[in-house]
Structure 1
Amino acid sequence: MKPSLAAKLLQVLSPWCNAPAWHIAFSGGLDSTVLLHLLANLANTESLPPLRAIHVHHGLQAAADAWPAHCQSTCDSLGVPLRVMHVQVQPGASLERAARDARYQVFTEVTGTGEVLLTGQHRDDQAETLLFRLLRGAGVRGLAAMPLQRPLAAGCLVRPLLDVSRAELEAYAEAHQLKWIEDPSNADSRFSRNYLRHRVLPVLTERWPQTTASLARTAEHLSEAQDLLDELAQMDLRAANQFSPFSWLHLPSLALAPLRELTDARQRNALRHWLTPLTRLPDSDHWASWHSLRDAKDDAQPLWRLADGDLHRCGERIWWLPSTWSDFSDASVSWPDPQNPLELPGNGQVQLTGRVPGGPLTIRYRQGGEILAVPGRGRRDLKRLLNESGLPGCVRGRLPLLYQGEQLLGAPSLAGLWPAPSDEWQLHWMPQTCDQGLS
């Protein structure tokens, strides 16, 4: 006997039954209305986490102004509390993407530690996603389409209806006499997904009735293939994740030599895996920049600009610098109270320990030609000291220098590669991304 929709839903959600709360993304459309109704009824007979509905009002069309009231009425009848969240959709090339970004920003904000956000995407949505991404030339990760679950803030996003067809949802809604919102924009074929839904998939289904089920199954196969690629990437990255003497920077970095031993395809796979949590990935045409960075001469300092930061190469190591590092200002900063730490704009903080030097103190940054007194070695050119230390070039301009008037008193010692400038005091630097500083 075929299990009921409620039984299927309960089985899919069983791993999250001990979550502190379940949030339902409730647009008021067919999918989320059926999901909310199923969960509210299950809560009467099963031990479920507290249910809460979230309606995001995008303000993109006049008809949407009536939707919060409809959603409130539905939630009241089911005994589920509702939060209506208003968002401002940023204009851009893709209105669909901008609305999605605004919506998921809300979902991130409301999902607490260990909590679950439930959305109503179903099998037909999965088929549309696969076809849409296929036409855009996506790789395996993109063609794996929507996963059943993924991390969201400190919790998890779950799509429990991915194995349920739209026809099943319609049958359930009609059987329970549910009312839902029909978004007028869903009929507008100017939007790519609507074009696929109304103009392409019906033609394919007429010839191949199992089209949506087959496409969804293909997405599952590709998801498994992506899992295998991720395992291979983790194996390949173990050697490249070898110890860095500059771990105190807390910047992601990889040794280049182990990557060079891999084929080009495995290099790209490893880097995609490594970069995925850091930035939006480049398309295929932009991977030539990786080859330029990898093959540059040893004394070069090439960089690869990506959507959310830059990948730098310094010697035989590559470093990820997030775009937030661009907020750094190299203007001098006076230190009126050196007994307390000094915040540096976009560059963490510095602190003096020991006997604090007298006189007005300032923090400045390299201009070139600085000479530093090094105990046991006399006066040394700072540039040469930095070259000896191997400090990544992309960080050297951020090294704070302590001045007394126009006199350079010292710089933070680099991991013991040169001694502290004085036995009486030490300058400690804690970069903005560090949990531990450098003295």
Structure 2
Amino acid sequence: MSALAYSAIAPLIPAAGGRIYIGYSGGIDSHVLLHLCAGQADLQPRLTAVHIHHGLQAQADSWAEHCRRQAAILGTGFLRIHVDARAANGESPEAAARQARYSALMELIQPDDLLLFAQHREDQMETVLLQLFRGAGIQGLAAMPLAAPFGDGTLARPLLHTAKSAIREYARVHGLNWIEDPSNQNSDFDRNFLRNEVVPLLKRRWPSLDKTVARSARHCGEAAALLNAWSEPRLGRLLNPAGNGLNLDGLQSLEDAAINGLLRQWFGSLGLKPPSQALLETVRQQFLHTGANASPRLAIQGRVLKKYRQTLYCLTEQSFNPLPEPLNWPANTNSIRLPDGSVLSLTAAGSGIGQALWHNSRITLKPRSGGEKLKLPNRAGRHDLKKLFQEAGIPPWERSSRPLIYLNGRLAGVAGLWVDEWAWTQIDAGCYRIAWQPPQSV
């Protein structure tokens, strides 16, 4: 009998919760995982095998049909998802397929859902070696975690500590029928080259290589967790109240290694890939070691780094797009999305623009044209918007992208900031505040 049993993976699979999805390519690894889980009567009603149809192989349709039949035999749900896995210019086919696959699965997973991948100990070893060859740090060398948040749910890899030999033996004992992808023999891909050419040679010298390298990955994972525990509270103290900017003055007294660690943590919190050593050096030189009035700009990973008043911001390109032309706010709608992706929304309040005035006015949103002035409540005189923006510390790009609000053609305020005295009133729960939400990252 095979040494691999459900009891070995059960701790990662809760007895109660939402749906359980299994990434099911139809290969030996995912088929073994599906077979293990489908054999549990309490899990079977919650199971769905998810097959990602990349459309990259001539056999893709027949593979999808094979997976559907196997799921039916095992009594589990089945879902086929088609993705566009074509690589963009400069992107590797492996990376394009992985990104397409992960994006599709992330949209699928709901709160309390669990997604299972069938990666095993040799996959972990290959990942560590590839990361090492790419010059990764501790976080990269920690490779794949057993479990991690994924979309609105959780991703787990219950076979991660399992030897490939145990998976093969399980498949043999149970007479499983799986797909052999011929592209796995193509050593043009980095992982296949490592798997087909390099690892067999290394294993002739070090037969337990998968076990020892996976152990190193766990050590790196523990070290990375300690670094995260150190950096998270410090990063929290460096973020501005809105959470979208990093205080550079707070980094000045730190050693370069600590600065790098905090920048890596910040990048990760923004959903970005870990920065390279060269990028960290560039960020330190251009943003940290320049004068307070410097205004560098650095494009990275589809984002833009900008500095204003010793605060480092990571922005989308959309953040620099002002409202192109006047726009009417439709009547009886509580929110409106602008062309740049920002959102304005109404919130009931005790002071602000009176609701009666709002609902009886033609509301127009306009970009700044220059020279606008506001008379603020309880403040003498009229003030140029330019000076008000400077006083409030509003970054230059926000000054252009925050629309001006006109009621019946008269300037009434600036989205998310001020209301002119003529439009401002105080009525318990009878007013509106207009909130402005900047463009969100994709």
TM-score, normalised relative to structure 1: 0.86
Return the letter of the residue paired with 1:391.
I
| Partner residue, 1:429 | 434
Map 1:166-177; keep pairs closer than 5 Å: 166-177=164-175
User: Is 1:310 matched with 2:304?
Assistant: yes
For residues 341 and 106 of structure 1, do their structure 2 counterparts lie closer, same or farther at Cα, with a shift above 3 Å needed?
A: closer
8 Å contact kept, 2:2–2:169: no
Unaligned runs of 5+ in 2: 347-352, 426-430
Deviates more, 1:321-330 or 1:90-99: 321-330
| Partner residue, 1:199 | 197
Distance 1:287 1:360 in 2: 49
Distance 2:363 2:198 in 1: 70
How much does 1:34 deviate?
1.0
| Partner residue, 2:275 | 282
| Partner residue, 2:367 | 365
| Partner residue, 2:133 | 135
Distance 1:226 1:67 in 2: 39
How much does 1:11 deviate?
3.9
| Partner residue, 1:6 | 5
Pairs aligned (count)? 422
TM-score, normalised relative to structure 2: 0.85
| Partner residue, 1:293 | 287
Classify the secondary structure of the residue corresponding to 1:19. coil
For residues 324 and 12 of structure 1, do their structure 2 counterparts lie closer, same or farther at Cα, with a shift above 3 Å needed?
A: farther
Distance 1:82 1:342 in 2: 39
| Partner residue, 1:397 | 400
How much does 1:49 deviate?
6.5
Query: How far does the alpha carbon of each residue in 1:218-268 deviate from its partner, in whole angstroms, 9 at most, with x for none?
Result: 1111111111111111132243136x3xx4xxx522322222222111112
For residues 334 and 104 of structure 1, do their structure 2 counterparts lie closer, same or farther at Cα, with a shift above 3 Å needed?
A: closer
Map 1:14-413; keep pairs closer than 5 Å: 14=13, 16-41=14-39, 43-44=40-41, 50-92=46-88, 93-241=91-239, 244=241, 247=242, 252-278=244-270, 279-291=272-284, 292-325=286-319, 329-334=323-328, 344-346=338-340, 347-349=342-344, 352-353=353-354, 356=357, 362-374=364-376, 376-403=379-406, 408=411, 410-411=413-414
How much does 1:405 deviate?
8.6
Query: How far does the alpha carbon of each residue in 1:160-202 deviate from its partner, in whole angstroms, 9 at most, with x for none?
Result: 0011111111111111221211100000111111110010001
How much does 1:203 deviate?
0.6
8 Å contact kept, 1:31–1:120: yes
Return the letter of the residue paired with 1:306.
I
Distance 2:80 2:330 in 1: 49
Distance 2:277 2:166 in 1: 39
For residues 424 and 373 of structure 1, do their structure 2 counterparts lie closer, same or farther at Cα, with a shift above 3 Å needed?
A: closer
How much does 1:274 deviate?
1.9
How much does 1:56 deviate?
1.3
Unaligned runs of 5+ in 1: none
8 Å contact kept, 1:256–1:317: yes
Distance 1:221 1:86 in 2: 38
| Partner residue, 2:350 | none
For residues 200 and 336 of structure 1, do their structure 2 counterparts lie closer, same or farther at Cα, with a shift above 3 Å needed?
A: closer
Return the letter of the residue paired with 2:422.
S
Distance 2:338 2:317 in 1: 17
For residues 312 and 353 of structure 1, do their structure 2 counterparts lie closer, same or farther at Cα, with a shift above 3 Å needed?
A: farther
8 Å contact kept, 1:365–1:399: yes
Distance 1:234 1:121 in 2: 29
Return the letter of the residue paired with 1:421.
E
How much does 1:403 deviate?
4.7
Classify the secondary structure of the residue corresponding to 1:429. strand
Deviates more, 1:104-113 or 1:127-136: 104-113
Classify the secondary structure of the residue corresponding to 2:154. strand
Deviates more, 1:379-388 or 1:361-370: 361-370
How much does 1:432 deviate?
2.8
For residues 359 and 185 of structure 1, do their structure 2 counterparts lie closer, same or farther at Cα, with a shift above 3 Å needed?
A: closer
8 Å contact kept, 1:281–1:307: no
Return the letter of the residue paired with 2:261.
N
How much does 1:385 deviate?
2.1
Distance 1:7 1:397 in 2: 59
8 Å contact kept, 2:23–2:50: yes
Distance 1:402 1:28 in 2: 57
